Amino acid sequence: MNFSTSPAIFRWKPATWLRVTGDDAANFLQGQFTNELRGVPAGGAVYGLWLTLKGKVLADSFVVRGGTGAGGSAAGGAEVFWVGSYFSPAAAIRERLEAYVIADDVVIEDLTTEWAGVTVWGAKVEAGAGDVVFPGRRSREACAEWMFPVARANEVSAALAGRVELDDEEMERRRIAAAVPAVPVDIGPGDLPGEGGLESIAISYTKGCYLGQEVMARLKAMGQVRRRLVRVAGSGSLPDALPAGLFTGDKRVGEVRSAVRTGGVGWSGLAMISLMQATGGGTYALAVAEEPTVRLIDEQ
């Protein structure tokens, strides 16, 4: 893994941290998750999505395959899989999984409140035997996510003493600058993976069946989606509320879904915009008949 040369950490609580065990756990998750889990080694992680039948984005997560130094094994030697998400609620993912456990030997435990995380840039993580470490998806720079039981928080803090700590606002700046969608804020149940630019990183088109797979295959055959999540920059104050509509004249062409202050004046954000409007360095207003104060950064 290539790390940023600037050591830094960010302390966080997962929105989801599930432990999935049972003799059928591997096959069950493979049939639900959008990305390929076969061949993932012990301690390896894969980022992907949990879709609805119509191929819309219900949630996202990492799936980490347990093993030595990565959460170990369950009682009796059964293999462990960890399902973790930055933003997608545990209830949404757990309910989605449990709805499809029929006769499978699968046990899903919600340990979200019992675990914590630290994102680490610029250094190797020296994790304990029961901790879970995997590559994160936070910013342009590579990072590692170090997950551990909350009972070990003081030990982890001691191991990371002296490092620069980033706050929520700085993390949001980094995420938006890297155009990493927060699910379900930027991409959610009304959106397709391709509209968030997730088709290449979160979708396998060769793994076989999973919930929503037929829709993904059709969309791939058809080509481009009609909307896209793009980076925008605004002058003046942050939008009063999100999502905030974007207008060209009296026509609504999209909406800002995430926004964070940048520099002394202004802000940056992620917006869902019609592809017909996301060209030519477009500018947009936050209301009908207002001056355009938002400009497109990413052309599609």
Interatomic CA distance for residues 129 and 123, integer angstroms: 18
126 Cβ neighbours under 8 A, 6+ residues apart: 159
Distance between CA 197 and CA 231 in Å, rounded? 12
**Cβ contact 164:124 at 8 Å:** no
| Separation between Cα atoms, residue 162 and residue 220, nearest integer Å | 48
Instruction: Give me the domains of the chain, ranges plus CATH numbers.
Output: 8-176 (3.30.1360.120), 227-296 (2.40.30)
Percentage with pLDDT > 70 across the chain: 92
Q: How confident is the model at residue 249 (pLDDT cuts 50, 70, 90)?
A: confident
Say how far apart CA 281 and CA 295 lie, in whole Å: 7
pLDDT (tens digit per residue) in 102-148? 989 999 999 999 999 999 998 788 888 889 999 999 999 999 999 99
Taking residues 64-79, what's their average pLDDT? 61
The CA distances from residue 67 to 108, 128, 155, 208, in Å, are 18, 12, 22, 26
